[in-house]
Structure 1
């Protein structure tokens, strides 16, 4: 995923520079600029600790959840538009599903950890869209098919939950399941980037198919980021011990044994290294172009 982010961002940035306003683009008058509003139906997936591998082979239909969004787009130049969007969706992960891949070398670890979660994502994003086919005319003469790329910034609210023994979902962030001194923030930033293709339906409607990655800066949208911690640090409630799989330390400081759910004597709870979680939004958007008002010159 790190390479995907690096290469895709470089391509998007390069295209944005190529499409940056030049002398000819300045001739794209305000009369040719226009706004559109969009309504999206999406599928949302997640890459992180509760997946077999952090790549496309990890996508599971059973873990895909429906997402929806609204947006407003402003066309500024022949190739460049700006879009502000609001999106709501849910991501999920389950070790029990991940371990169905028998070739996964970490299958035993995942069976022992046996963790699952869900997380509702509320996202606000602002992105720059670069069309690969320019249109120097007004919206009435726009091309029928236009591939495009985008990159921007987003903020999102999230609160991972786990299924407790009584059948209820419990907010995991306040539990500090890995013994953190302070709970991680529910408000996070991400970098959305991706691409799609837009199709002109008629005078005022466009439809687009788009896929967008969200590179986050947190490892806790699944509440799993590091190692198991001492039971003494998470023994405040039964829920903390259950979800944190608290461990008991010997007098020498070594891991003497595990309590709670079975975990095979493995101290590592999440991926090693400084990794962060990702989520992906793939969907279809219907855009309605707001007919611009054209003021005719007045003659006296």
Structure 2
């Protein structure tokens, strides 16, 4: 972890703590589930493509009817296969991966309306959220009954490999409805920008020394699994963007422990 990343996380939690001491509020817990998706070197154009499931939970401090901060954990599964692409060049490239995502983040929620469970009068509100956190990922490739951890194999010839736990920046929108007393339902769409281009194990160029696994006729070139071995050393393997993106789309339910104290503004 770099010094800048550490300072960002410390600043986020310190700011949240100061706001919590400055105002009265209430606590909220929630559960959510839905789908997970990804945009990157194997899906360059569809920002809403869902390729797996997700689930999560959170603990939240609502400071007033507009502002809250939550500690959020989300688990998801994503995958992509060039062989299923509509692009003929991608099908020729024939890369694929799947990975789990374990994300822990601190998020700031901002309600647009005077939401009831924050001290207001409206039962319904759209909201925005953003924050910072960490995500752990382990891109894998399955072949002939075997599963290979791509992040351990340096498929692009990386001298030092790459980190599989990185800082991530979440941001998104949601809708929340208080349907009975302290119970609410919500739905949200959130994108994440991790500080890595290796969520899918693809970023740079084909290596001089490719990674080959297996034996005999079951050998496979993990650096270049294309049928015609199109990956010449030094040519581009992925796209030119510096970051992958992943997303969670969720529906959930929450319970709020309403404080008997009055809010002050």
Per the TM superposition, whether the score is higher than 0.5 is yes
The corresponding residue for 2:124 is 145
Contact kept, 8 Å, 1:140 with 1:203, in 2: the verdict is no
Q: CA deviation at 1:263?
A: 3.6
Q: Which of the numbers 243, 247, 260 marks the counterpart of 1:276?
A: 243
1:42 aligns with 2:34: yes
Whose radius of gyration is greater, 1 or 2? 1
What TM-score do the two structures reach when normalised by structure 1?
0.72
Distance 1:161 1:139, change over 3 A: same
Q: Displacement, 1:80?
A: 0.8
Matches within 5 A, 1:158-237: 158-164=137-143, 166-231=144-209, 234=211, 237=213
Instruction: Give the secondary structure class of the aligned counterpart of 2:180.
Output: coil
Contact 1:207–1:284, Cα closer than 8 Å, also in 2:
yes
Instruction: Identify which of 72, 84, 87 aligns with 2:71.
Output: 84
Q: Which structure carries more strand by proportion?
A: 2
Paired with 2:200 and 2:188, the residues of 1 have a C-alpha distance of 25
1:93 paired to 2:72: no
Q: With the length of structure 2 as denominator, give the TM-score of the two structures.
A: 0.81
Q: Deviations over 1:34-85 (max 9, x none)?
A: 111000012100000011x3343xx44xx52111001011111331100111
Query: Structure 1 residues 138, 151: CA separation in 2 closer, same or farther (over 3 Å shift)?
Result: closer
Q: 1:139 to 1:219 in 2, by over 3 A?
A: closer
Partner Cα separation in structure 2 for residue 289 and residue 49 of structure 1: 41
Q: Which residue of 1 aligns with 2:45?
A: 54
Question: 2:93, 2:226 within 8 Å by CA — same for their partners in 1?
Answer: no
| Structure 2 counterpart of 1:252 | none
**Distance 1:138-1:121 versus aligned 2 partners, 3 A rule:** closer
Give 1:261 deviation, angstroms.
4.3
Residue 256 (structure 2) aligns with: 289
Q: Distance in 2 between matches of 1:83 and 1:138?
A: 15
Shift of 1:234: 3.9
Structure 1 residues 174 and 46 mapped into 2: Cα distance closer, same or farther (>3 Å)? same
